[in-house]
Amino acid sequence: MNVLVSRALAAGSLVSAIVLGGCVTESRYDELARKNQELQQQLTTQQAEMAKKDQQISRLQGAIKYTVNSDLLFPPGGWEISESGKQIIARLAQKLAPTQENKIYVNGYTDNAPIGPKLMKQGITSNEVLSQKRADSVMQFLISQGVKPDMVAAKGFGEADPIASNDTPAGRAQNRRVELTLSPH
């Protein structure tokens, strides 16, 4: 993003300097103005893409992985999908269910925060159990939205395989996630 900002500022400065100097033809000015506008649009597009950090789609060796931050799907310390979480998963299911050919693997992950007494009373004894319940909830909701039951599986990995440091709140938030992988295998 810094490169685009630098380009945009440089182009803007260049256009200003040329206009003030009066040494530019109208067609050259129009060309520089057009380039400046393109750079501004690129900057706006990249800023919008960066705002979508909570949801990511990646392609790995023939598989497609869709990652959703668990904070978007579940209430803190919970495993039942929130209404906003249902909307996210329902949109995905609408795209997948009608033409589903690949198995969907739902993997749940947590941060390394210990399980609290409230969850312990509900039978959640570890982060692995919590992540499994979250993965199961997403799987069941996908099925309720038309995904083939025999073409979806869920697994909880707890705090294993962190994608960020658990030393900061932001890192812990990144580690609390659900990954849906569509694989041809």
In one-letter notation, the amino acid at residue 126 is S
pLDDT tens for each residue of 112-163: 999 999 999 999 999 999 999 999 999 999 999 999 999 999 999 999 999 9
Beta-carbon contacts of 184 under 8 Å, excluding residues fewer than 6 positions away, are 62, 63, 102
Question: Beta-strand (E) ranges in the chain?
Answer: 55-60, 63-69, 103-109, 152-156, 177-183
Amino acid present at 32: L
The residue ranges of every structural domain in the chain are 2-50, 55-183
Give pLDDT, residue 136: 98
Averages of pLDDT over each 10 residues, the chain, 185 residues: 43 44 65 70 59 49 80 90 94 89 93 93 95 97 96 96 94 94 78
Q: How far apart are CA 78 and CA 101, in angstroms?
A: 31
Note the pTM of the prediction, 2 decimals. 0.67
pLDDT of residue 162: 94
Q: Which of 3.50.50.60, 3.30.1330.60, 3.30.540.10, 3.10.450.750 would CATH assign to domain 55-183?
A: 3.30.1330.60
